[in-house]
Structure 1
Amino acid sequence: MVLTTSLAGRVRNTSLPKSHALLPLLEAVVNSIQAIDARPGDEVEPSRISVRVHRDAQAEFDFGPAGPGRAPMKPIVGFTVEDNGVGFTPENMTSFETLDSDYKSGIGCRGVGRLLWLKAFDRVSIRSAYRDKDGKLQGRQFKFSIEREVEHDGDPDGLIRTGAVVSLDGFRKAFQQTAPKGVDAIAREVFEHCIWYFLRPGGAPEMTVADDDESVSLTDLMDEFV
C-alpha cells in the first residue's frame, strides 16, 4: 500500500505564529546562502543575494502605529529573493518536490521552508539556472501553490549564469499586518536571523534589502554590529 501526502493538509498543520510573519522570507534567504555555499570552489563571481520588497501601488497608505517622523508606507504584497548560487539542480528539484525530504538534513534543514511559504503567501514562482553534468547551462521555472502544487512553467530564456529568483506573492493579510513594514526593520530581521553566517569563517554573501525608495546593505549592518 502506498501512502499519499496532502500538501494542503501539511500546510494547514504547519505552525507559523503571526509574530514570526517574516519567517518564510528568512527561510528563502537561508536557502540562497546554502545555494551559494554549494558553488564550485573555482567560482570567481562574487556571491550576492538581493531581497526586493514589493508594495501594493493601488492600496491606501499604511500608517501603522503612530510615531514621530514615521512616513506612511504602502502595504507589502510580496518579496523576491535572487541569488547567484548553484540553482535548482535536478537533486535540489527532487528534494523540493519531496515533502519531508532529508536531502539537506546534514546542514540543519528540516524541509518545512516551502510549507511556510504557502502558509503566508498565496503562491510562489521560481526561475532558476544550473549547470548539468556536462557543464552546460540549463534552466527551469515553475509555480508552487496549494491548489496546483508544483506546476512547471516551461523553460526560461535569457539565462547567463546559475542562480535562482524566488518570488513570494500574495502576502496574506493576517501576516502582512504583523510583519515589519520598513526596509530597515526587515533588513535587521534578516541580519539577526542569518548572523551566524556573517560570523563564520569566510562570512556571508553580499546581501541587500530594498524597495523602490530605500536600500539597506547587510554588510553595513554587520559593520555596525562589530
Structure 2
Amino acid sequence: MTTNKDEMNFTPTSNIANKVRNTRLPKTKPLLPLFELISNSIHSIEEAIDKNILKPNEGKIVVNCIRNGSPETLEQLVDIDIYPIHSFVVTDNGIGLDEDNLKAFIEADTDHKIDIGGKGVGRFVCLKAFKELNITSFYKENSQTKSIKF
C-alpha cells in the first residue's frame, strides 16, 4: 500500500500528557514550580512596563499559600509553618495572556521568551507538580480589558 504524501498532514503535533510525564522535577527542588509561576509574573510585569501599561515600580506579585485545615484551626496554631501547604495562588498585575502570550503558552517548547532566558517548559513543570492548574488572566485588547479562564 502506498500513501500519497500530498494528502498527508505534516504539521508537527505534541502529546502534552507525554510531555508532562517526561518532564523532570527533581525531589531536591520542590519549589521549582512556584519559582516558575513567580518568574512568569516577573516577565509579565516587565512586558507591561515595556509597553507602557505599567510604570516602573508599579508591578505587584502576591503569593498566597493555602494550607490544609479551616481558617479557625489555622488561626489557633502556634507554628503555622509546620502545617501542610495545599496549594498556591500567584497573582500579578502584568500584561496577561494577550494574543501573543496565549499563542506562546499553547505552543510546546516555545521560544517566545528565549531572549530573557525562557525555555518554554515552565508550565510543564507546574503541570507535573500540581494536580490542578487554574489560570485566570486579564489583558488589554484595543483599550478594553478582557479575560480568559481555563
Name the SS for the 1:27 alignment partner. helix
Which of 43, 49, 55 matches 2:54? 43
Q: Does 1:86 align with 2:98?
A: no
Offset of 1:4 from its aligned partner? Answer: 2.5
* Structure 1 counterpart of 2:116: 107
Q: Does 1:19 align with 2:28?
A: yes
Q: Report Cα offsets for 1:157-188 as digits up to 9, x if no partner.
A: xxxxxxxxxxxxxxxxxxxxxxxxxxxxxxxx
Letter in 2 for 1:33: I
* Structure 2 counterpart of 1:145: none
Q: Does 1:141 align with 2:146?
A: no
RMSD across aligned C-alpha pairs, in angstroms? Answer: 1.9
C-alpha separation in 1, matches of 2:68 and 2:54: 38
Offset of 1:7 from its aligned partner? Answer: 1.0
C-alpha separation in 2, matches of 1:97 and 1:130: 17
Structure 1 outlier segments of 4+, above 6 Å: none
Offset of 1:139 from its aligned partner? Answer: 0.9
C-alpha separation in 2, matches of 1:43 and 1:50: 16
Query: In percent, how many aligned pairs have the same letter?
Result: 37
Offset of 1:26 from its aligned partner? Answer: 0.3
Letter in 2 for 1:8: A
Letter in 2 for 1:43: L
Which of 76, 89, 107 matches 2:85? 76
Unaligned runs of 5+ in 1: 62-69, 143-226
* Structure 2 counterpart of 1:130: 139
Q: Kindly tell me: are residues 43 and 71 of structure 1, through their superposed partners in 2, closer, same or farther at Cα, counting changes over 3 Å? A: closer
Alignment: residue pair count: 131
Q: Kindly tell me: are residues 42 and 103 of structure 1, through their superposed partners in 2, closer, same or farther at Cα, counting changes over 3 Å? A: closer
Name the SS for the 2:120 alignment partner. coil
Q: Where is the helix percentage greater, Structure 1 or Structure 2?
A: 2
Unaligned runs of 5+ in 2: 1-9
Q: How high is the TM-score relative to the length of structure 2?
A: 0.80
Q: How high is the TM-score relative to the length of structure 1?
A: 0.54
Which structure is larger by alpha-carbon Rg, 1 or 2? 2
